[in-house]
Amino acid sequence: MFELSKDHEDFRKVVRDFAEREVEPHVAQWDKDHHFPADLVPKMGDLGLFGLVVPEEYGGMGEDGDFTSLCVAIEELGRVDQSIGITLSAGVGLGINPILTYGTDEQKERFLPDLVAGRALAGFGLTEPDAGSDAGATRTKAVRDGDEWVVDGAKAFITNSGTDITSVVTVTARTGTREDGAPVISAIMIPSGTPGFTVEPAYDKLGWHISDTHGLTFADCHVPAGNLLGGEGEGYRQFLKTLDDGRIAISALALGMAQRMLEESIEYARTRKAFGRPIGANQGISFQIADLAVSVEAARQLTYKAAWLKDEHNAGRRSVADVKQAASIAKLYSSEAAVSATRVAVQIFGGNGFMEEYPVARFYRDGKILEIGEGTSEVQRMLIARHLGLPA
């Protein structure tokens, strides 16, 4: 059965110390300024966070790391700040993982060492202005012209795509049409600075103010034919697998948020007094915190079961179907539990919870995206139902 090893728990302490030392003192100001701390990324690289699922030949942890360790790191960073947590989650799951899984030796050697070291970041361009959950409606096109691909189109809400250290963005694009009329979807790597590749101004978001998020446009953008990731027409399958892994990572991110809301609520209920006693002495408060503790524990079990299944699958002991179902269940429950946890925490804090000087306000703003990104809650319910054998 799955459980976190002593090595995992020791690693948790290392990441928590890093987060509380390097992130916590600055995060309120970074959030206020909408500042992406690019200088923090190499420090995360030095800690090995970007290489937890990467072989040693590319600078990764090799056998000393696994997917569960990555989830531990994302949880601990997300406990301090969600934007920093998603920077790691997207940097590995959407940036490194597609290149590691589907790239050629030349592509891996070109991009992975810098990405693993935190000297660079990479993004993954799937979502478009008119194609989110319906990724088959992708309109971005790539036309083969001799030894090049010519890319035209637009992507939306792309994480880690416009930082000073972003080196490449992998995008899905139509490269043809099948006999049944369905589009041929392929994945193509587009290095930063390529003529015709424009990073649009950063979004003015409800939350995740520290995270780097941009729209991207491509106009007569020429890249070498060798930038195709995997085979032509394999992009749809590639991003589906990428999203499966990403859903477990988002579950870990949500778990970090829920855990922090539990801790903040307990501390505030112990110290805040009303009518001559701590507010935690009132059942109206204590029962909410008790329920919050239950949801955190459930989210933890679902998250790390899914991560364990992912590692078991990598070792050839579990099926893809097992991982997909566990990923959707964990992502659905943990994201909704985290959003509820922020609402409970703000309510317990009362008027103070509405003030930006208290972390619960920032987490409240950050929470909602967890129910949207990497597949909405509605999509997760659809996938879970299909796995149960219900009609599509």
Q: Go through the domains of the chain in sequence order and give each one's CATH number.
A: 6-121 (1.10.540.10), 124-233 (2.40.110.10), 236-387 (1.20.140.10)
CB atoms within 10 A of CB 150: 17
Catalytic positions are 374
- What per-residue confidence (pLDDT) applies to 124? 96
The number of helices, as runs of H, and strands, as runs of E, in the chain is: 12, 10
CB atoms within 10 A of CB 290: 10
Q: Which of 127, 28, 124, 132 is nearest to 84 (CA)?
A: 28
From first to last of its 392 residues, what are the pLDDT tens digits of the chain? 568 999 999 999 999 999 999 999 999 999 999 999 999 999 999 999 999 999 999 999 998 899 999 999 999 999 999 999 999 999 999 999 999 999 999 999 999 999 999 999 999 999 999 987 787 789 999 999 999 999 999 999 999 999 999 999 999 999 999 999 899 999 999 999 999 999 999 999 999 999 999 999 999 999 999 999 999 999 988 988 888 899 999 999 999 999 999 999 999 999 999 999 999 999 999 999 999 999 999 999 999 999 999 999 999 999 999 999 999 999 999 999 999 999 999 999 999 999 999 999 999 999 999 999 999 999 999 999 999 999 98
- Note whether 262 and 135 are within 8 A (CB): no
Q: Tokens for 207?
A: 């939350």
Long-range Cβ contact pairs of 363-366 (< 8 A, separation 24 or more) = 363/82, 363/257, 363/260, 363/261, 365/206, 365/207, 365/209, 366/82, 366/83, 366/207, 366/208, 366/257, 366/342
Q: Which of 371, 367, 376 is nearest to 342 (CA)?
A: 367
Residues in the chain, how many?
392
Q: Tokens for 380?
A: 């997760």
- What per-residue confidence (pLDDT) applies to 241? 87
